Amino acid sequence: MSAPAPFRDASRPVAERIEDLLGRLTLEEKVDQLHQCGIGDANPNNLAARADEFRATYGSFILNGAQADLATRNALQRMCVDQSRLGIPAIFGCDVIHGYRAIAPIPLAQACAWDTELVRRACAATAEMAHAHGVDWTFAPMVDHCVDPRWGRVAETFGESAFAASRFAEASVRGYQEGATPIAACLKHYVGYGASEGGRDYSPTEVSPQSLWDNHLPPFEAGVRAGAKSVMSAFNDLNGVPTSANRHTLTEILRERWKFDGLVVSDWNAVLQLLNQGFAATEAEATARAIAAGVDLNMADGFYRQHLPQLVRAGVVPLAAVDEALRRVLRVKFEIGLFERPFIEANALTSAAPTVAQLALCEEFAVRSLVLLKNESDTLPLPATAKRVALIGPLATERAALLGSWAQQGRGDETPSIAEELRVRLPHGFELRVESGCAIEGGARDGFADALAAARDADCVVLALGEQWTMSGENGSRSTIRLPGLQEELALAVAALGKPTALVLVTGRPVELHAIEPRVAAIVAAWQPGSRAGAAIARVLLGEANPSGRLAITWPRTTGQIPLFHQMRPRARREPEGCYQDVPTTPHYAFGHGLSYTRFDYGQIRLSHASVRAGETLVAEVTVTNRGTRAGRETVLWFIRDPAASITRPLRELKHFESAELAAGEARVFRWEIVPERDLAFPDAVGARRLEAGEIQVFAAERSVTFTVLA
């Protein structure tokens, strides 16, 4: 029995196995390994390949949509292993963004729970289910920076704070890659995609180098440091150089600066799109530019397959560039064990519906992500005296809308609505009347009469308004963040009846409330809470759960205020100069806003020292007391402001957060250990970090103190 070829010998170092395999491959075989083939109805924005286009020599397949399951994966893998000359296994990717069969809240909602451990747990649970369905690699976490909620993909972000997104990026990578059943993670969309002009998806982005280093790059660097095995280059033209052909970001920063050794996959057709963007005159030129910049795996358009062999033979693309791209792809395949275990065995999760444990985790996350924006006169929880409740609005009985835009294998018909969950939880003898009143969008008012009649007969009203899942996510750009259709008109008509009215919002973004807010007593931002949305919302409405979410994104009053975010740099003149003449310049609800059914008091911030220098640490503490009669969870967000620096610094920079449950009457000390080099230094326009002497202000809720950094 001859010894196995070195690349097949798992006892050898990965680097050795890669070189051995590289030396055995023909140019065509190498190039096919750099092709990723999309199968199934990936998503409505991307047309997938046909089955007759699948080749045994392809490096990767995307398992999105209904056609993608374990049997499909193993059949394709059998083709790759048996029918290709060297039997190289393919790697199977999938958009497992916030759940696979059991769907967690959208990432924007998850961020409002301010709990990295919850994010990690949810990713680990999702990885188990996804792997059981054939997935080796998820195209997540999405860590784009966005301060424009017109952009539909704001729903997929972890909010507007680069610091928070960095912590959630780390937690996601660890959850996906270090859980019981690891799958490879993918940081996307590298980089600056969230700045799409006008919130219009696929549009160019103009991002200053300073903002790139302040806001857009940190979550990717955090994810790389956490060990992410891949990065996805984005669609956007970044300051005139598209990110899928941008050597500065893909090689100079990602490889040379951060020493990233994983693989870079382009986004769907992003190499082809270089033609649309005017960055290449021919398909061959687009191909050459992408691989020269540092894109290793070409998703979907097939340009690498079609053009690289002849580009290499013509000396336009050096063979070394193909070999280097292939080394990175093979390294990930070896590291995740694909050569030893190319097939995934079916297990109890493979054909299962969402498990009880996964649904419980989704429900816990959904409850934690809801944000109580307003609660005048303790309108919520619904009073025990309210025997007749009217639930009004198109989201009352909606199901699929609760799951968000990347519901993967989550099913609307398995997702109880708000109405269903409220009905089973209302005490005996209570009456619930449900009226949609109008559709999510469209101009029909014929449901108004029944809705108003239900409201008139009720002791209290719950409005359930919001968006369809197609109104956010990829290609979900909207010119206004007003509620669609006649929902605002319905809300005002119901509110005019004067009943105690609470508004529940199911949306993928903040929405305009400046007309409705003064007319309703309570508002809950539920976002798109996932498979257990109905239960979470009902439990909060009835007081079974105490809401604890805090906004991870600024909530504008009007679309016209966008962009509006907490980490803006100071203005040249103080209000009211330069403010809008027609609406306040402040947000409707600030970043970090969120109420509870109890009340938390903050003591003064205490500092261990009045000054600190590099190499030292300074401890900030604040005592928070639960002054209410029920337990509640409080999140302390620690901000700084550097009022005078060599580069103007934001009015507020989030630098630490901690969330904890406090019993009624409990006082708890929240502590932040300030390390100047980590927490007080800031990047310049080339990413060099500066720690400067001078005053620093520290904020926690309404409390603030100042200390000095010494040279």
Q: Interhelix angle for 116-132 vs 162-178, to 10°?
A: 40
CB-nearer residue toward ligand GLC: 141 or 676: 141
CB-nearer residue toward ligand GLC: 268 or 670: 268
Tell me which residue has tokens 């934001």.
Answer: 650
Number of residues that bind ligand GLC (CB under 6 A): 12
* Minimum CB–partner distance for residue 193 and ligand GLC (Å): 8
Site for ligand GLC in 118-147 (CB under 6 A): 139
Strands lying side by side in the sheet with 522-525: 371-375, 522-525, 501-506, 460-466, 388-392, 431-435
| Cβ-closest position to ligand GLC | 139
CB-nearer residue toward ligand GLC: 62 or 293: 62
Residue 401 DSSP symbol: G
Measured between alpha carbons, how far is 592 from 371 in angstroms, rounded to an integer? 10
Site for ligand GLC in 23-62 (CB under 6 A): 42-43, 45-46, 62
* Minimum CB–partner distance for residue 430 and ligand GLC (Å): 44
CB-nearer residue toward ligand GLC: 300 or 536: 300
CB-nearer residue toward ligand GLC: 102 or 140: 140
Is-contact 236 298, C-beta < 8 A? no
- 188 lies in the site for ligand GLC, by CB under 6 A: yes
CB-nearer residue toward ligand GLC: 297 or 392: 297
CB-nearer residue toward ligand GLC: 46 or 567: 46
Angle at 516 between CA 514 and CA 522, to 5 degrees: 110
* Minimum CB–partner distance for residue 228 and ligand GLC (Å): 14
* Minimum CB–partner distance for residue 300 and ligand GLC (Å): 8
Instruction: Count CB-CB contacts under 10 A for residue 79.
Output: 16
- 95 lies in the site for ligand GLC, by CB under 6 A: yes
CB-nearer residue toward ligand GLC: 168 or 268: 268
Is-contact 159 209, C-beta < 8 A? no
* Minimum CB–partner distance for residue 102 and ligand GLC (Å): 20
* Minimum CB–partner distance for residue 507 and ligand GLC (Å): 20
- 151 lies in the site for ligand GLC, by CB under 6 A: no
Q: What string marks each residue from 211 to 250 as x (binds ligand GLC by CB under 6 A) or -?
A: ----------------------------------------
CB-nearer residue toward ligand GLC: 148 or 267: 267
Measured between alpha carbons, how far is 42 from 38 in angstroms, rounded to an integer? 7
* Minimum CB–partner distance for residue 168 and ligand GLC (Å): 17
Is-contact 309 27, C-beta < 8 A? yes
Sign of the four-CA dihedral 221, 226, 227, 231: negative
**H helical segments located in 196-272:** 209-211, 218-225, 247
* Minimum CB–partner distance for residue 527 and ligand GLC (Å): 19
> Is beta strand 618-626 parallel, antiparallel or unpaired with respect to 667-674?
antiparallel
- Cα pseudo-dihedral 47, 51, 55, 61, rounded to 10: 50
CB-nearer residue toward ligand GLC: 127 or 502: 127
Q: Give the number of C-alpha atoms closer than 13 A to the C-alpha of residue 668, restricted to the C-beta side.
A: 20
- 267 lies in the site for ligand GLC, by CB under 6 A: yes
* Minimum CB–partner distance for residue 106 and ligand GLC (Å): 14
CB-nearer residue toward ligand GLC: 64 or 558: 64
CB-nearer residue toward ligand GLC: 46 or 157: 46
CB-nearer residue toward ligand GLC: 43 or 626: 43
CB-nearer residue toward ligand GLC: 301 or 467: 301
CB-nearer residue toward ligand GLC: 173 or 382: 173
Q: Give the number of C-alpha atoms closer than 13 A to the C-alpha of residue 437, restricted to the C-beta side.
A: 31
Phi, psi of 633 (to 5 degrees): -105, 130
Measured between alpha carbons, how far is 201 from 479 in angstroms, rounded to an integer? 11
> Per-residue b/e over 34-50, b at no fewer than 16 CB within 10 Å?
bbbbbbbebbeebebbe
> Any long-range contacts for 223-226 (C-beta under 8 Å, 24+ apart)?
223/141, 223/143, 223/166, 223/169, 223/170, 223/172, 223/173, 223/185, 223/187, 224/187, 224/254, 224/258, 224/260, 224/262, 225/170, 225/258, 226/169, 226/170, 226/173, 226/174
> Any long-range contacts for 206-210 (C-beta under 8 Å, 24+ apart)?
206/239, 207/238, 207/239, 208/685, 209/685, 209/686, 210/647, 210/683, 210/684, 210/685
* Minimum CB–partner distance for residue 64 and ligand GLC (Å): 5
- Return all residues near 324 (Cβ < 8 A) that are at least 6 apart: none
- Element containing residue 274 per DSSP (H, E): helix 273-276
Secondary structure class of 676 (helix, strand, coil): helix
Short-list 88, 61, 96, CA closest to 7: 88
* Minimum CB–partner distance for residue 36 and ligand GLC (Å): 9
* Minimum CB–partner distance for residue 477 and ligand GLC (Å): 13
Measured between alpha carbons, how far is 550 from 635 in angstroms, rounded to an integer? 8
* Minimum CB–partner distance for residue 141 and ligand GLC (Å): 11
* Minimum CB–partner distance for residue 408 and ligand GLC (Å): 10
Is-contact 311 288, C-beta < 8 A? yes
- 642 lies in the site for ligand GLC, by CB under 6 A: no
CB-nearer residue toward ligand GLC: 264 or 538: 264
- Return all residues near 247 (Cβ < 8 A) that are at least 6 apart: 292, 293, 294
* Minimum CB–partner distance for residue 270 and ligand GLC (Å): 8
> Token pair of 201, please?
């998806």
* Minimum CB–partner distance for residue 478 and ligand GLC (Å): 18
Site for ligand GLC in 64-83 (CB under 6 A): 64
Short-list 122, 683, 44, 570, CA closest to 359: 122
* Minimum CB–partner distance for residue 63 and ligand GLC (Å): 10
- Strand segments, DSSP code E, in 362-430 are 371-375, 388-392
Short-list 671, 673, 639, CA closest to 653: 639
Site for ligand GLC in 660-699 (CB under 6 A): none
Cα-based distances in Å from 276 to 12, 190, 327: 45, 19, 30
Question: Contact residues for ligand GLC (CB under 6 A)?
Answer: 42-43, 45-46, 62, 64, 95, 139, 188, 267-268, 474
